Amino acid sequence: MKENLRRAAGSLLVVGLGGAELTNLERAWLKLVRPAGIILFRRNIEDARQTRALLDEAAGLCAPQNFRCVDVEGGTVDRLRDALAPMPSAQAVALAALRLGWEMRSPTLSQRTRKDGAPSLSKALEHPTELAYEQGELIARGVKAFGFNTTLAPVLDLALPASAAVLVTRAAAATAAGVVEYARPFLAGLARHGVVGCGKHFPGLGGGALDSHLDTPAIRRNLSDLWREDLAPYRELRNDLPMVMVSHAAYPDTPGKDRPASVSPYWITIVLRKRIGYRGIVFSDDLEMGGILKFMPIEEAAVTAIWAGMDLLEICHSPELTLRAYEALVAEGERSAAFGKLLLARAGQTARRRAKLFAGGVPGALSARQFEALRARILRFGEAVEKAQSEAEAQLA
């Protein structure tokens, strides 16, 4: 039974690594924990060949059909910008689409695809709603070239004045309709190439002035406003989102009170699962962030998040914090029969979801010629978006 609990606890973690190669210490704790997957950052990524080798070795020490995650939103959050090419931000793509939308009415996506199902770059620039599809497609091809199967994008937060200094260009639009108009084709572009996307940061950071990497934002928006605006993208896209990331923000003017959403049964189970009806994977923001660690220690956060309904816990860097969270889950499973039962059930459920998401196996490597062609295409896309964005900003001024 204890071995089953240990296996279950590890399979609910997605973990980070220290550098571009595995250390002996990392090999040892990965073999012990056998997490659900790996997340890499710029500190881990030198080039495609090195990244694929690192992912292959680390994934071999994880649970089967594991996550290979990276943050590629575009703009300021783009872990492949140095190793591949810079991708424009969500806001830049949305503004460029706005500029093109003034000139023509866009037909439906299904009416303007190539024979292979993907719109050409020229078509994307002719029809504004395809810009986000093209971005999703290019990001998917880029992350696959490095051996990833998941990108933690798109951002579904609203670009409100309160969060402008924190989110900057990460949020596509100030309205729910604008966010959905961007995110739906973006997710379709990812899905076209078999890459898993993740909507974030539920229930919404648009009204927050603090960075949850450092503190717990207390977002003073009432439930009515959140439901009508911040939560609308999750309601509209619930069937398009393979994963939803839950933030460490608190919402004091709602029944969630001062508890961060990432450890709140109200937000995860009642709102996301029951009221919205979301059936995909619920994924925590990094449990190393100040937004949660200033509220409770990581041991308590890990256990409380699982009780609250979380499927996967993300810990992005520290082996010590990873092992503390892992051992806390095991210890609570041994102490509480109810939690042990929940841990085993949650592990089985997420394993089935992983198997479905990653049935296609590991994406193959590109040849040098294919890689350079992809780089050139991303650069051309970025230049076209920048031009249309500049024209839109000039007209809005």
Which tens digit of pLDDT belongs to each residue from 241-261? Answer: 999 999 999 999 999 999 999
**Helix 319-335 vs helix 337-357: angle between axes, to the nearest 10 degrees?**
130
Chain position carrying tokens 């508890």: 259
| pLDDT tier, 101 (very low <50, low <70, confident <90, very high otherwise) | low
Interior/surface letters 241-253, b for 16+ CB within 10 angstroms, e for the rest = bbbbbbbbbbbeb
Strands 72-74 and 198-202: unpaired
pLDDT, residue 113, reads: 41
Which tens digit of pLDDT belongs to each residue from 17-46? Answer: 999 999 999 999 999 999 999 999 999 999
Residue 246: what are its φ and ψ, rounded to 5°?
Answer: -100, 135
CA dist 135 → 19, 49, 158, 232, 393 (Å): 28, 23, 19, 22, 20
CB-based contact 301:12 (threshold 8 Å):
no
Q: Which residue has the higher pLDDT, 235 or 103?
A: 235
What are the residues whose beta carbons fall under 8 Å from the beta carbon of 243, sequence distance 6 or more? 150, 196, 197, 198, 199, 280, 281, 282, 283
- Start-end of H helices in 243-336: 265, 290-293, 298-308, 319-335
Of the CA atoms within 13 Å of residue 123, those in its CB half-sphere come to: 16
Question: Residues 78, 240, 285, 286: which is the catalytic one?
Answer: 285
Q: CA triplet 58, 361, 182: central angle to 5 degrees? A: 95
Interior/surface letters 366-382, b for 16+ CB within 10 angstroms, e for the rest = beeeebeebeebbeebb
285 is catalytic: yes
Q: CA triplet 41, 43, 45: central angle to 5 degrees? A: 75
CA dist 167 → 20, 108, 170, 374 (Å): 28, 30, 5, 28
Which burial class, exposed, middle or buried, applies to 328 when counting CB atoms under 10 A from its CB (0-12, 13-18, 19+)? buried
Q: CA triplet 201, 203, 207: central angle to 5 degrees? A: 85
CA nearest to 339, candidates 363, 304, 313: 304
CB-based contact 281:311 (threshold 8 Å):
yes
Residue 359: what are its φ and ψ, rounded to 5°?
Answer: -65, -25
CA nearest to 30, candidates 56, 45, 10, 53: 10
| Element (DSSP H or E) covering residue 314 | strand 313-315
pLDDT, residue 179, reads: 96
Percent of the chain with pLDDT over 90: 86
Q: Taking the model in full, what pTM does it have?
A: 0.92
Displacement of CA 353 from its chain's centroid (Å): 16
pLDDT, residue 124, reads: 41
Secondary structure letter of residue 312 according to DSSP: B
Peptide bond into 203 cis (omega under 30): yes
127 is catalytic: no
Which tens digit of pLDDT belongs to each residue from 39-87? Answer: 999 999 999 999 999 999 999 999 999 999 999 999 999 999 999 999 9
Question: Residues 47, 56, 82, 213: which is the catalytic one?
Answer: 213
Of the CA atoms within 13 Å of residue 139, those in its CB half-sphere come to: 35
Find the mean pLDDT for residues 307-318.
97
| pLDDT tier, 397 (very low <50, low <70, confident <90, very high otherwise) | low
